[in-house]
Structure 1
Amino acid sequence: MKKAGLIMILGSLLLLGLFKFPLWNIMLGAPQYPDPLGMNIYISGIEGVEEFDIQNIDGVNHYIGMQKIPKADEMWEFEVFPMVIGGMAALGVIIGLLGFFGKISPNWFLGWFVLMAVLGILGMYDFNAWLTEYGTNLDPNAIMKMTNPDGTPMTYKPPLFGHEKMLNFEVDSYPHTGGYMLFAGMALTLLAFVVGRTERKKNKRLFT
């Protein structure tokens, strides 16, 4: 399974891109901001797309009672996520090497993929929970108190994925470079499983 092992190693190494590139990006555009405000979400913290974006977003949010964007040391996720990604990348490389030397079956590649998918789903669930808390737990003493047509307090949860209009802001939330590298890496590990099974069947036919 040499080819499958190499694909598995490559797919696992792509996860390391998350240590350099953002996982996700949220952009906020409005008439008063010709250049949209944005924040890049890394596995180790949140940074503004431009130098003062976080400061400006916090300033806008203050008026409607939203919390400040948390610093890296204020969320446990930014300590745990790098360890999870680093551990899964290392595990994937080890599995790939064992597959390259024919020590394990292709099912190990699939097992890694399933584990990574579960961790990814849990991560997205946690991210969505944070967005919900961020957009609904508002300061009751905020300067502006916006309400829905039925009189209930308006919430400002950014979309987990896609586009949404919030007051006069157009909000876009999509994966960034690191996120695409993660998806590509996972796709390669699934391909490694398929290639590994094909290689194994071919080898069985040669020796029977």
Structure 2
Amino acid sequence: MKKAGIIMIIGSLLLLGLFKFPLWNIMLGAPQYPDPLGMDIYIEGIKGVQEFDIKNIDGLNHYIGMKTIPEPKDMWEFQVFPMVIGVMVAIGVIIGLLGFFGKVSYKWFIGWFLVMSILGIMGMYDFNSWLAEYGSDLNPKAIMKLLNPDGTPMTYKPPLIGYQKMLNFDVDSWPAMGAYMMFVGMMLTIVAFFVGKKEYKKVAKKPILKTVTA
């Protein structure tokens, strides 16, 4: 399964892009901000798209009682996620190498994909939970207290993915380069599974030649 092993290794290594590129991006545009404010979410922390974006976003949030953007030390996810990705990359490369030398079944490739998919779903759930808490846990002493038409306090949860109008802000939340690299890498592991399956069938169909000695 040489081809399958190589594809598996490449797919696994693409996840290393998460250490360089942002996983997610949230942009906030409004008439008073010709250049939208933005946040890039990495697996190791949150950074502003422009130099002062985080400071400006925190300033806006202060008026409506939202918390400041967390530092990496304030969220356990920013310590755990890099370790999880590093371990999964290492396991994927090892499986790929073992597959290259024919030491493991091609089924290990899809096994890695399933584990990574579960971890990805858990990560997205955690991210959405953080967004919900971030947008709803407001300071009761905030300068501005806005209410919904039914009289309940307004919340400011950004969308997990897509567009949302929030007061006079247009909020866009979309995957970024790191997420696309992870997606491509995971798709390659599926390709490795099918290539490995095909290679295995070819080997299984080869006739066994027996030598007869006189």
TM-score category, normalised to shorter length: over 0.9
Higher Cα Rg, which structure: 2
Q: Does 1:171 align with 2:138?
A: no
1:157 aligns to what SS in structure 2? coil
1:205 deviates by: 1.0
Q: 1:90: how far off?
A: 0.5
Matched to 2:161, the amino acid is F
Q: Is the partner of 2:150 in helix, strand or coil?
A: coil
How far off its partner does 1:20 sit? 0.5
1: CA distance, partners of 2:140 / 2:194:
55
Q: What is the correspondence of 1:1-208 to structure 2 with a 5 Å cutoff?
A: 1-207=1-207
What's the TM-score, normalizing by structure 2? 0.96
Offset of residue 203 of structure 1: 1.3
Can you give the 5+ residue segments of structure 1 that lack an aligned partner in the other structure? none
> What CA RMSD, in Å, does the superposition of the two structures yield over aligned residues?
0.7
Q: Matches of 1:193 and 1:163 in 2, distance apart?
A: 36
TM-score (norm 1): 0.99
Hey, what's the Cα distance between the residues in 2 that align with 1:53 and 1:35?
Answer: 10
Query: SS at the partner of 1:35?
Result: strand
Percent of aligned positions that are identical: 72
- Offset at residue 38 of structure 1 (A): 0.2
Alpha-carbon offset, residue 207 of structure 1: 3.3
C-alpha offsets along residues 129-170 of structure 1, whole Å, 9 cap, x if unaligned? 000000000011111111111111110000000110100000
Q: What per-residue deviation string (whole Å, max 9, x for no partner) do you get for residues 90-136 of structure 1? A: 00000000000000101100000000000000000000000000000
Give how far 1:187 is off. Answer: 0.4
Unmatched runs of 5 consecutive residues or more in structure 2: 209-214
**What is the number of residues matched between the two proteins?**
208
